[in-house]
Amino acid sequence: MDTVEDQTGIILDALQRAAAAHGVHEAEELGGKFDEQWPLWYAGHMSRTLAESGYRLVRTGTDDDK
């Protein structure tokens, strides 16, 4: 099982990739304008990056999930 440090590294890598790609997106696709919807863009990019690397988010069951 991945440790918290391993998981942090995976998320950090995905976040850094998203940041770099988003800079290109703002410059090239938005003409240098600030992207008001950046959280949605980041979430989509990170989800695709993680899926392409074989990761998936899984919610573990809790007592509240009945």
The sign one gets for the Cα dihedral 29, 45, 39, 20 is negative
pTM of the entire predicted model: 0.79
Alpha-carbon span 8 to 4, nearest angstrom = 6
Residues 28-60 have pLDDT tens digits of 999 999 999 999 999 999 999 999 999 998 888
pLDDT over 90 percentage in the chain: 77
Eight-class DSSP state of 53: T
